[in-house]
Amino acid sequence: MREITVGLLGCGNVGGGFWQLIIGARHHLAAHKNLSVDIRHILVRDVNRPRSVAVPRSHLTTDPWRILEDPEVDVVVEAMGGFEPARTYLLEALRRGKHVVTANKVVMARAWDELHEAAQASGACLFYEAAAGAVIPVIRSLPGLSVAPVRAVYGILNGTSNYILTRMAEGLSQADALAEAQRLGYAEPDPSDDLDGRDAAYKIALLAALAFDWSPDLDGIEMKGIRNVSTEDILAAQEAGFDLRHVARAERDESGQVKVSVAPVELPPGHPLYGIRGVENAVVIESDVFGAVTLKGAGAGPGPTATALLGDVCRVVDRLVWAEPSPAVSPAGAAADVAAGAAAAASAAARWRGESR
């Protein structure tokens, strides 16, 4: 039996969903993957807070060092969200040679270069399938497809905005559709990232980085959300035979420049994104060599996201079985990196615990 020990950062909707999936899939993992996954520690802000999942109190901690310094923790799974302190914790984990699996599109988009450099320096795995498209295997697929020149990558990448547009097409106002999405757990209490297009921008930045070897430049993304889209706009598009969807797009122009945009778009029948409803996501990868590949599926919710996280944990296990020697790292340099990272992580932990919920 292959065994791997996990330290989990965060126990909200996604972290709690990951815990439930591990507990529910134990027999399946043992029978079909010959794998046992042990979640040793779970970082939370408050161990006394009521939770929707039954997690043993002994697993909970407010101290990130329980995870970062435990030599038996093989993989750090991050489900906190936000930029800091998640970035600091992930960098510290990678510097210490721990493998990282994350669902955090904000950290991956804004700290792409430094996270990959830290992983390369330590030889640790850095996997982030859950950060864009949840259970849709687009991040896993892109490196293989991009061996041929990719012309464009585009898709519906935000399940919340897609759900809102779907319900508006059925006659609801945007305010009512948003309230419904929040009741169902599809939208956060503060839905700004979804309505203004930032969530989709983070995700398309990751896909562009993989497709075009592009260092994410969030300031260079042309971004327009759905906040100003009215029910009348959607119904008028429908009457004209179009489907109004929020589309994120990255393409390389004739000069070689990568252009990235997020905006509401009217799609004609026959378009690969036409008819994508509810929280479903879809991604299209186009190339002059292989034509177009479309991937679609559930793009929101704790279940799909937790499944993608567990899939990446299994990828870490497979990588360890076939592991190659890690690149050489200067012991003195590594010690200095760990010492600097420790101070940063301590500061980040203090700030995070002091933040309001």
Say how many Å lie between the first and final Cα of the chain, rounded.
40
Per annotation, catalytic residue among 33, 98, 105, 203: 203
- In the chain the beta strands, taken as DSSP E runs, fall at 2-9, 35-43, 60-61, 75-78, 99-102, 126-127, 152-156, 222-223, 243-252, 258-267, 280-287, 291-298
- The sign of the torsion formed by the CA atoms of 69, 74, 79, 81 equals positive
DSSP single-letter state for residue 227: T
Question: Which burial class, exposed, middle or buried, applies to 198 when counting CB atoms under 10 A from its CB (0-12, 13-18, 19+)?
Answer: buried
DSSP single-letter state for residue 149: P
Q: What distance in Å separates the CA atoms of residue 35 and residue 2, rounded to the nearest whole number?
A: 5
**Spatial CB neighbours of 201, under 8 Å, sequence gap ≥ 6:** 109, 218, 221, 223, 248, 260, 262
Strand partners, 154: 249, 284
Q: Is 203 a catalytic residue?
A: yes
Check if the beta carbon of residue 186 is closer than 8 Å to that of residue 167. no
Check if the beta carbon of residue 244 is closer than 8 Å to that of residue 174. no
Active site residues: 203
